[in-house]
Structure 1
Amino acid sequence: MKIYFVYILKCSDGAYYTGFTSDLEKRYLEHKTGKHKESYTFSRTPISLEFYAEFTEPSIAINTEKQIKKWSKAKKEALINNEFEKLPNLSKKKFNSN
């Protein structure tokens, strides 16, 4: 059974990059060594792997990647830190009370 990964990297500028791959070790090495000059992480090294999740269905992994990419930095950090109880509140839109 093939395994697919959704991962979050932390870049040297503090930004997070979320990606999808079927070979996490190889893809991380590509990010780390700057193999792809067009990659978001190319000019933001060094990078560190902060989170990954495994999937057996590529479509679910891709949908999860797309979802996480839309999340705020705070929500990504809650996921990275296993603070799952914070995720619902971080999903709520903040409304101006004026």
Structure 2
Amino acid sequence: MNYTYIVQCADGTLYTGWTNCLEKRLKAHNSGKNGAKYTKTKRPVTLVYYEGYATKEEAMSREYAIKQLTRAKKFALMEF
């Protein structure tokens, strides 16, 4: 399974990414090793939303689509 996810950083900002293991990826974001450069200085991060996909390509495509959304639309997505 592949996932598109949104984490909320300690400063309130949002980061969107994709992974094939949510637990491992969150650990990477919070440890600073192999996490995203963006989240490195904004720890800890908390998982606030995710969607599952059968393929990596679907997850990556959805990641791109979510990144195009406004902050308000991302929060609306999380409330669904």
What is the TM-score normalised by the length of structure 1? 0.76
Identical-pair percentage: 38
Which structure 2 segments of 5+ residues have no match? none
More strand, by proportion: 2
Which structure 1 segments of 5+ residues have no match? 83-98
The number of residues matched between the two structures is: 80
- Give the 5 Å matches for 1:25-64: 25-36=23-34, 39-64=37-62
Shift of 1:61: 1.0
Secondary structure in 2 matching 1:41:
helix
What is the TM-score normalised by the length of structure 2? 0.92
Aligned residue among 64, 67, 71 for 1:66: 64
Give the 4+ runs in structure 1 shifted more than 2 A.
none
More helix, by proportion: 2
Q: Which has the higher contact order (CA 8 A, sep 6+)?
A: 2
Give the AA of the match of 1:17: Y
Shift of 1:38: 5.7
Give the AA of the match of 2:31: T
With over 3 angstroms needed to count, the CA separation of the structure-2 counterparts of 1:22 and 1:37, relative to structure 1, is: closer
Once the two structures are superposed, residues 20-73 of structure 1 have per-residue CA deviations (whole angstroms, 9 ceiling, x without a partner) of 011111011000111137621000011110001100022111110001011111
With over 3 angstroms needed to count, the CA separation of the structure-2 counterparts of 1:75 and 1:31, relative to structure 1, is: same
Q: Distance in 2 between matches of 1:39 and 1:6?
A: 18
Structure label with greater radius of gyration: 1
